[in-house]
């Protein structure tokens, strides 16, 4: 299979990202990534609708993130060899189809399979982020990535709130159907506002995939960022998967609407994304990664110590989101300091690690809740953050601060 860019003589550097284009990418990342997280506050309602257990419903977010990791590996690298706007549009239409079918799923098994498809086709944000980074001067790259990631994080957080509210009023199927319609509207908007940016390479698809593993060997910075990011997101996913069951049980006994509203508590994490990017530009992203991992570990200690306090839970969520997003933004700034012509493939390595960690975290979070309750979930999250922080502290420097 020979892949040719639509305008081989042009390079991405010849295109400039306008403010409207940057905002289009920011909105795209937020709305698209939300499709991966609508299921979390609805897990209890989904389980009851199919007469299944919480543990069985926990397979849904796990398969969504596994599908996303697969899409990162197989689809996102095409951003280095295909025109990115067209590739982004194709993924938006595909995820709309998967969401529409999920709304009509006849069984939990079918919904789980379609959840994998939603993750597989919902990789638009990881096409958009390197798109923005490649079209931005190095001295503003952290700020630009931070802004786009603010949209992504806001989408993650509001997805839970919107899904919880709509699910409470109209049922979980309406959430997925409405999301499908929103993705089609977004695709039409992207076609109007994003610039065309043909890639400058001519390479076979199989050669693109073969070129990815050597990047892991070549760049120690990439390995360090992938490990820290994957473990941080594993802790994050374990928490949010288990939180639905924690808040559905006594003494809370909250419904999907109230559970979804807890996503708003994490808005501090969205606000931290842009700030983390600016701080990384000033002080060096490696240092900010360390701060983020330490904050993440502290959040689980707090939520265990004040496990019967609503105020303690809220404070822990704020710290958790601050820690995860500070770590993630700074890691991406590090990765995008590597050669621009490799950005999509470098992003693939980092984000596959990130979402493999997320899938593992969702699986272990549901298991920890089933067997050990909330203390087990807190111990799991703190342990994951601790492993990442230890690896970060003992890791060798790579010449980049």
Looking at mean pLDDT, say which of 22-31, 39-48, 298-307 comes out highest. Answer: 298-307
Q: What is the pLDDT of residue 195?
A: 72
The reply to whether the predicted model has a pTM over 0.75 is no
pLDDT grade, residue 13 (50/70/90)? very low
Q: What is the pLDDT of residue 11?
A: 42
pLDDT grade, residue 399 (50/70/90)? very low
Q: State yes or no: pLDDT of 344 exceeds 90.
A: no
- Percent of the chain past pLDDT 90, that is, above it, reads 33
- Mean pLDDT for 279-306 is 86
Beta bridge partners of 2: 204
Q: pLDDT tens for residues 156-173? A: 778 888 898 898 889 999
pLDDT grade, residue 109 (50/70/90)? very high
pLDDT grade, residue 201 (50/70/90)? low
Q: State yes or no: pLDDT of 193 exceeds 70.
A: yes
pLDDT grade, residue 36 (50/70/90)? very high
Q: State yes or no: pLDDT of 15 exceeds 70.
A: no
Q: What is the pLDDT of residue 7?
A: 41
Q: What is the pLDDT of residue 347?
A: 82
């Amino acid at each position: 299979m020979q892949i040719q860019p639509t305008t081989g003589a042009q390079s991405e550097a010849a295109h400039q990202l306008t403010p409207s284009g940057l905002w289009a990418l920011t909105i795209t990342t937020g709305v698209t990534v939300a499709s991966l997280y609508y299921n979390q506050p609805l897990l209890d309602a989904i389980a009851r609708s199919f007469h299944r257990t919480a543990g069985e419903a926990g397979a849904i977010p796990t398969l969504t993130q596994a599908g996303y990791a697969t899409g990162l590996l197989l689809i996102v690298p095409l951003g280095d060899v295909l025109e990115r706007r067209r590739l982004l549009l194709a993924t938006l239409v595909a995820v709309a189809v998967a969401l529409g079918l999920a709304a009509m799923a006849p069984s939990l098994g079918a919904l789980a399979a379609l959840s994998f498809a939603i993750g597989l086709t919902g990789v638009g944000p990881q096409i958009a982020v390197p798109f923005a980074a490649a079209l931005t001067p190095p001295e503003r790259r952290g700020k630009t990535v931070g802004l786009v990631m603010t949209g992504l994080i806001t989408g993650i957080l509001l997805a839970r709130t919107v899904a919880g509210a709509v699910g409470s009023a109209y049922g979980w199927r309406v959430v997925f159907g409405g999301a499908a319609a929103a993705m089609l509207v977004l695709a039409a908007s992207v076609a109007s506002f994003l610039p065309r940016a043909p890639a400058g390479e001519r390479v076979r698809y199989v050669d693109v995939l073969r070129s990815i593993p050597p990047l892991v060997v070549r760049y120690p910075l990439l390995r360090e960022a992938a490990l820290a990011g994957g473990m941080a997101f594993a802790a994050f996913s374990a928490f949010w998967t288990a939180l639905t069951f924690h808040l559905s049980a006594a003494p809370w006994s909250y419904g999907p609407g109230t559970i979804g509203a807890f996503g708003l508590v994490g808005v501090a994490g969205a606000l931290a994304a842009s700030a983390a990017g600016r701080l990384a530009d000033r002080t060096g992203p490696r240092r900010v990664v360390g701060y983020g991992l330490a904050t993440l570990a502290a959040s689980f200690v707090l939520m265990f110590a004040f496990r019967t306090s609503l105020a303690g839970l809220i404070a822990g969520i704020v710290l958790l989101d601050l820690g995860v997003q500070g770590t993630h933004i700074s890691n991406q700034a590090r990765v995008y300091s590597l050669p621009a012509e490799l950005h999509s493939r470098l992003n693939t390595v980092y984000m596959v690690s990130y979402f493999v960690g997320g899938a593992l975290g969702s699986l272990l979070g549901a298991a920890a809740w089933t067997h050990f309750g909330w203390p087990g979930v807190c111990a799991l999250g703190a342990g994951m953050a601790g492993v990442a922080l230890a690896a970060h502290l003992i890791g060798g420097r790579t010449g980049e601060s």
